[in-house]
């Protein structure tokens, strides 16, 4: 329906608009501004060459419904990315359709549901560790499946005995178990092979939440651990930008035997015609092409690393996280001993007598020009502070961050009020989180006043 009256848009000149957005951009913090160690998010550097390639007119000007013979180059990139991800994950086939990790989870669970239905044995329960990311149970619920929580041990890994009990009780109702490995504490699940075997024995499938794939890249593959279906967050592991709800990509891979359930369209290479074409299939759960610009950036990243350097990603990310963990443990409480993978978790300051919380430390970091780590997640500890440096950061950057973390710990002792009232140097001071979430002010007029 056409509107009857003109929209009441603010009327102003171009200069005012430019200043408005430029000023807003100064209030922002991005990975190009400084160290951004947000745990579970893999905020790695977004190389400029990725942006240049995604912006090329030959790609950016394409229409999604263009005939295949007019865009063979783009289809070749699409096809090659499908193949590269399958090789890196140790799985058979990938779909690039889903537009985020959570979207990938939903797609993967729909594939799993379709698989059980095709076997004539619909199953409704999904086992999810209590340490899982909130999107896991949310996706299962949206897919119409029932969430059953698996307990964690004190060290944050899956309680295999509890899992055994659940499988004994629920056996043939279990559609799948969702897991991320390393888990959301950055700990590699030592009994992962046993877990995948147990679930398979009960007839369930294993879903791998690939948000933490960065830790394993080049080291080992989810497919080899026995996972059947997984998603990859291209906007985490493969360096494409994210944050602020920007375009993401959550390709889903499956092991051999599940390809027919993948959403279509998919790009295949027709050996006879020696050309790429777009394929549809009857059992497919259905979708569309996804965010092609994001895929171009991820593919450019894979090619610029190459087969040799891609092997360094996981080990370097792991080295950086362990370096931070060992150097901060005198001031920050380390709840779990031993090696972590790509991220480390502290339970607030060692010295709790000052009353300075993880929230205060996070806010004070902003004063020093660092983005805060992830806080109060995972939920297993009261004062969680989860730091993920990624492989991109130099030792100088990491050392400077460590120095500031020590400085804040010292301030917490000498002047706790200074930390509790932080930030002091940012455009906006300490906000009321609840009010900001419940009554966000997003209009042009209010931000001016
Ligand atoms: C980020 C993340 C997700 C969700 O991915 P989105 O792309 O944000 O939808 C799921 N699981 C874990 C562990 C994550 O870190």
What is the pLDDT averaged over residues 309-328? 97
- Tell whether the model's pLDDT for residue 282 goes beyond 90: no
- CA dist 169 and 353 (Å) reads 45
- Tell whether the model's pLDDT for residue 443 goes beyond 70: no
Least trusted range by pLDDT, from 22-31, 50-59, 97-106, 111-120:
22-31
Q: How high is the pLDDT of residue 109?
A: 98
Ligand 1 nearest-atom number relative to CA 212: 13
Residue closest via CA to ligand 1's atom 8 equals 101
Q: How high is the pLDDT of residue 45?
A: 94
Mutate to test the pocket of ligand 1, among 98, 186, 211, 343 (most ligand atoms within 8 A of CB): 211
- Tell whether the model's pLDDT for residue 283 goes beyond 80: no
Q: How high is the pLDDT of residue 286?
A: 62
User: At 448, is the pLDDT very low, low, confident or very high (cuts 50, 70, 90)?
Assistant: very low
pLDDT in tens, 251-260: 999 999 999 9
- Tell whether the model's pLDDT for residue 386 goes beyond 70: yes
- CA dist 411 and 420 (Å) reads 10
Ligand 1 nearest-atom number relative to CA 132: 13
- CA dist 61 and 48 (Å) reads 20
Q: How high is the pLDDT of residue 445?
A: 54
Rounded to the nearest angstrom, the distance between the alpha carbon of 305 and the centre of ligand 1 is 24
Q: How high is the pLDDT of residue 177?
A: 98
What is the pLDDT averaged over residues 32-42? 94
- CA dist 195 and 230 (Å) reads 16
Work out the angle between the directed axes of helices 395-414 and 292-328 (0-180°, nearest 10): 50
pLDDT in tens, 121-167: 999 999 999 999 999 999 999 999 999 999 999 888 999 999 999 99
**Protein residues with CB under 6 Å of any ligand 1 atom:** 40-41, 100-102, 133, 135, 180, 184, 209, 211-212, 233, 248, 250
Ligand 1 nearest-atom number relative to CA 100: 7
- Tell whether the model's pLDDT for residue 290 goes beyond 60: yes
List C-alpha distances in Å: 33 to 27, 38, 359, 366, 403: 11, 14, 21, 12, 19
Q: How high is the pLDDT of residue 64?
A: 83
Mutate to test the pocket of ligand 1, among 209, 242, 248, 378 (most ligand atoms within 8 A of CB): 209
Mutate to test the pocket of ligand 1, among 101, 109, 189, 252 (most ligand atoms within 8 A of CB): 101
Rounded to the nearest angstrom, the distance between the alpha carbon of 382 and the centre of ligand 1 is 21
- CA dist 193 and 225 (Å) reads 6
51-304 belongs to CATH 3.40.640.10: yes
The CA-to-CA distance between both ends of the chain, in Å, stands at: 34
Ligand 1 nearest-atom number relative to CA 103: 9
Q: How high is the pLDDT of residue 188?
A: 95
- Tell whether the model's pLDDT for residue 287 goes beyond 70: no
Residue closest via CA to ligand 1's atom 5 equals 101
Rounded to the nearest angstrom, the distance between the alpha carbon of 211 and the centre of ligand 1 is 5
> What residue has token string 């509790």?
420
pLDDT in tens, 175-199: 999 999 999 899 999 999 999 999 9
Q: What would the two tokens of residue 410 be? A: 């010292």
What is the pLDDT averaged over residues 63-77? 92
User: At 418, is the pLDDT very low, low, confident or very high (cuts 50, 70, 90)?
Assistant: very high
Ligand 1 nearest-atom number relative to CA 184: 13
Residue closest via CA to ligand 1's atom 7 equals 101
Rounded to the nearest angstrom, the distance between the alpha carbon of 249 and the centre of ligand 1 is 11
What is the pLDDT averaged over residues 96-122? 95
Rounded to the nearest angstrom, the distance between the alpha carbon of 135 and the centre of ligand 1 is 7
Classify each residue of 96-111 as buried b or exposed e, where b means 16 or more C-beta atoms within 10 Å of its C-beta: bbbbbbbbbbbbbbbb
Residues 6+ apart with CB under 8 A from 187: 155, 156, 157, 336, 338, 340, 341
pLDDT in tens, 346-361: 999 999 999 999 999 9
Residue 223, number of CB atoms within 10 A of its CB: 21
Pick the CATH number of 307-434 from 2.30.110.10, 2.60.120.380, 3.30.230.10, 3.90.1150.10: 3.90.1150.10
| Domain ranges for the chain | 51-304, 307-434
Q: What would the two tokens of residue 90 be? A: 């140790």
- CA dist 206 and 187 (Å) reads 19
- The widest CA-to-CA distance across the chain, in whole angstroms, is 75
- Say if CB 88 and CB 109 are below 8 A apart: no
CA angle 22, 28, 33 (to 5 degrees): 100
328 burial (CB, 10 Å; 0-12 / 13-18 / 19+) is buried
pTM of this prediction exceeds 0.85: yes
Torsion 9-13-14-17 (CA) sign: negative
Rounded to the nearest angstrom, the distance between the alpha carbon of 419 and the centre of ligand 1 is 30
What is the pLDDT averaged over residues 230-235? 97
Rounded to the nearest angstrom, the distance between the alpha carbon of 244 and the centre of ligand 1 is 13
Ligand 1 nearest-atom number relative to CA 40: 15
| Partners of residue 386 on adjacent β-strands | 345, 374
């Amino acid at each position: 329906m056409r509107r009857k009256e003109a929209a009441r848009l603010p009327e102003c000149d171009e200069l005012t608009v430019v200043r408005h957005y430029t000023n807003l951009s100064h209030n922002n913090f991005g990975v190009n501004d400084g160290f951004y160690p947000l745990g579970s998010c893999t905020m790695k550097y977004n190389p400029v060459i990725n942006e240049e390639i995604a912006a090329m007119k030959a790609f950016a000007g394409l229409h999604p419904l263009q005939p295949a013979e007019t865009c063979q180059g783009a289809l070749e990139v699409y096809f090659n990315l499908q193949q590269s991800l399958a090789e890196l994950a140790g799985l058979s086939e990938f779909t690039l359709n889903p537009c985020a990790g959570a979207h990938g989870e939903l797609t993967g669970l729909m594939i799993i549901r379709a698989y059980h239905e095709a076997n004539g044995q619909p199953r409704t329960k999904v086992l999810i560790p209590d340490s899982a990311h909130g999107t896991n149970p949310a996706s299962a619920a949206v897919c119409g499946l029932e969430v059953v929580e698996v307990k964690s041990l004190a060290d944050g890994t899956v309680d295999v005995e509890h899992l055994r009990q659940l499988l004994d009780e629920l056996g043939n109702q279990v559609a799948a178990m969702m897991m991320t490995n390393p888990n959301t504490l950055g700990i590699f699940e030592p009994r992962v092979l046993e877990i995948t075997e147990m679930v398979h024995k009960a007839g369930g499938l294993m879903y791998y939440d690939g948000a933490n794939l960065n830790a394993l890249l080049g080291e080992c593959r989810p497919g080899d651990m026995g996972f059947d279906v997984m998603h990859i967050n291209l906007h985490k592991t493969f360096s494409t930008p994210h944050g602020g709800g920007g375009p993401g990509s959550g390709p889903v891979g499956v092991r051999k035997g599940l390809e027919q359930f993948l959403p279509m369209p998919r790009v295949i290479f027709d050996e006879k015609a020696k050309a790429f074409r777009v394929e549809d299939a009857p059992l497919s759960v259905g979708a569309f092409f996804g965010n092609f610009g994001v895929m171009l950036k991820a593919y450019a990243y894979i090619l610029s690393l190459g087969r040799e350097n891609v092997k360094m990603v996981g080990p370097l990310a792991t080295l950086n996280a362990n370096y931070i963990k060992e150097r901060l443990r005198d001031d920050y409480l380390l709840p779990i001993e031993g090696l972590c993978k790509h991220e480390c978790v502290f339970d607030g300051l060692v010295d709790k007598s000052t009353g300075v919380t993880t929230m205060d430390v996070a806010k004070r970091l902003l004063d020093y020009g660092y983005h805060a780590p992830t806080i109060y997640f995972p939920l297993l500890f009261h004062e969680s502070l989860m730091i993920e440096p990624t492989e991109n950061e130099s030792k100088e950057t990491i050392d400077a961050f460590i120095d500031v973390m020590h400085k804040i710990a010292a301030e917490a002792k000498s002047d706790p009020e200074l930390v509790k009232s932080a930030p002091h140097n940012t455009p906006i001071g300490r906000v009321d989180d609840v009010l900001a979430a419940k009554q966000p002010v997003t209009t042009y007029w209010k931000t001016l006043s």
